[in-house]
């Protein structure tokens, strides 16, 4: 639930003004959510009952993690149109995100509304993939006393499989991974790779291998993914696994050099982390001088706690 709500906030494009809609979409893309919020509030003064404006304002709050404000806007939408599946999905999602940050007693009071909102969305739209993913995660994460259920989670995974083989296999992989059945999780993540082969499919399997302390399998999977997708970020992933597990250090070092050489902001992981991983690799090798060079370079970019701790380790060599 927490993964999908933030990633899948929709931006409706048929709004009060095509120009304004494009402007808000651009602001969202640039992560200028506060500015979008201000524009939308002003627009709502002129058209207070415009459902698309209200939804966009709720989205702007969601991106900023202002869950109370997001809930208020989505609840208003549900009251205005009880037959819109996406309104119920977003309303339940915002409440779910709030439940993750409040104390347990307050969270308990939200569970019923979250479940009913998701259930209503699923009933209204038999093809709504996002809400079924949310249901899979919700029923796996909830304790049994609060309605958590492997059986219910698998029910929605089966529904996902009918809509999308890849999503169904990924959902089942997630369920078995959460239920501490790594062999079954691996089986379904591999099925997802066979059917879809997206980066997400490969990443799920890689993370499973790392979680199960199987770094060699993780590296092999990353390399298979790289052959298909050719993304620089995978060089960092191989370097990370090599550094974390003290294996295939030469390969890890070469991959990190490639990552640094070809780095752009689109790669996701800041280049300072590649410097840090190189410091780890040279620490494993007992090369104090080079380890210090790389960790100092990392600290120059970002003064982060893991970097400081690594420097202490190096200085103690």
pLDDT band for position 108 (cuts 50, 70, 90): confident
Last residue of a domain, one of 77, 99, 125: 125
Question: Is residue 24 in some structural domain?
Answer: yes
224 within 8 A of 237, measured Cβ to Cβ = no
Q: CA 117, CA 304: separation in Å to the nearest integer?
A: 41
Please report the pLDDT score of residue 16 as a whole number: 46
Question: Is residue 117 in some structural domain?
Answer: yes
Query: Inter-axis angle of helices 51-63 and 67-80, to 10 degrees?
Result: 160
Q: Is pLDDT of 246 > 60? A: yes
Last residue of a domain, one of 67, 99, 125: 125
Cα distance between the two ends of the chain? 44
Please report the pLDDT score of residue 30 as a whole number: 86
Give every CB contact of residue 10 below 8 A, 6+ residues apart in sequence. Answer: 59, 86
3-state secondary structure (DSSP) of residue 43 = helix
Q: Is pLDDT of 179 > 90? A: yes
Question: Is residue 148 in some structural domain?
Answer: no
Question: Is residue 111 in some structural domain?
Answer: yes
The DSSP line for 97-109 is HHHTTS-HHHHHH
Q: What percent of the chain has pLDDT over 90?
A: 79
Please report the pLDDT score of residue 11 as a whole number: 39
Last residue of a domain, one of 78, 97, 125: 125
Q: Is pLDDT of 15 > 80? A: no
pTM of the model: 0.81
Any idea which of 22-36, 166-180, 203-217 has the lowest mean pLDDT?
Answer: 22-36
> Which residue, 170, 162, 164, 216, is CA-closest to 193?
170
pLDDT band for position 2 (cuts 50, 70, 90): low
Mean pLDDT of the chain: 91
Provide mean pLDDT across the span 188-193.
97
Give every CB contact of residue 8 below 8 A, 6+ residues apart in sequence. Answer: 130
Number of domains in the chain: 2
Please report the pLDDT score of residue 1 as a whole number: 53
Question: Is residue 131 in some structural domain?
Answer: no
219 within 8 A of 248, measured Cβ to Cβ = yes
Please report the pLDDT score of residue 159 as a whole number: 95
Question: Is residue 225 in some structural domain?
Answer: no
Q: Is pLDDT of 48 > 80? A: yes
Provide mean pLDDT across the span 42-65.
92
pLDDT band for position 12 (cuts 50, 70, 90): very low
Question: Is residue 143 in some structural domain?
Answer: no
24 within 8 A of 11, measured Cβ to Cβ = yes
Q: Is pLDDT of 8 > 60? A: no
Q: Which domain holds residue 288?
A: 256-317
Q: Is pLDDT of 147 > 90? A: no
Phi-psi region of 269 (alpha: psi -120 to 50; beta: other; left: phi over 0): beta
The DSSP line for 73-140 is HHHHHHHH-TT-HHHHHHHHHHHHHHHTTS-HHHHHHHHHHHHHHHHHHHHH-TT-HHHHHHHHHHHH
Question: Is residue 48 in some structural domain?
Answer: yes
């Amino acid at each position: 639930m927490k993964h999908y709500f933030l990633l899948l906030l929709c931006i409706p494009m048929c709004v009060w003004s095509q120009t304004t809609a494009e402007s808000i979409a651009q602001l969202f893309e640039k992560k200028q959510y506060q500015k979008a919020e201000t524009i939308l509030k002003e627009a709502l003064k002129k058209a207070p009952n415009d459902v698309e404006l209200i939804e966009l304002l709720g989205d702007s709050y969601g991106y900023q993690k202002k869950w109370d404000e997001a809930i208020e806007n989505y609840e208003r939408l549900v009251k205005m149109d009880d037959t819109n599946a996406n309104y119920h999905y977003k309303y339940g999602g915002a409440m779910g995100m709030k439940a993750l940050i409040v104390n347990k007693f307050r969270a308990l009071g939200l569970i019923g509304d979250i479940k009913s909102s998701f259930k209503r969305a699923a009933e209204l739209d038999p093809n709504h993939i996002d809400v079924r993913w949310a249901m899979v995660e919700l029923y796996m994460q909830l304790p049994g006393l609060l309605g958590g259920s492997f059986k219910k989670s698998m029910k929605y995974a089966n529904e996902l499989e009918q809509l999308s083989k890849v999503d169904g296999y990924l959902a089942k992989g997630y369920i078995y991974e959460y239920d501490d059945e790594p062999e079954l999780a691996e089986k379904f993540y591999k099925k997802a790779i066979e059917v879809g082969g997206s980066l997400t499919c490969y990443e799920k399997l890689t993370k499973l291998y790392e979680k199960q302390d199987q770094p060699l399998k993780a590296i092999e999977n990353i390399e298979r993914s790289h052959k298909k997708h050719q993304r620089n970020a995978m060089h960092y992933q191989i370097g990370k696994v090599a550094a974390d597990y003290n294996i295939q250090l030469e390969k890890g070092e070469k991959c990190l050099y490639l990552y640094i050489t070809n780095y752009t902001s689109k790669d996701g992981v800041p280049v300072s982390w590649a410097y840090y991983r190189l410091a780890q690799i040279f620490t494993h090798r007992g090369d104090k001088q080079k380890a210090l060079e790389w960790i100092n370079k990392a600290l120059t970019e970002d003064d982060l706690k893991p970097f400081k701790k690594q420097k202490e380790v190096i200085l103690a060599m």
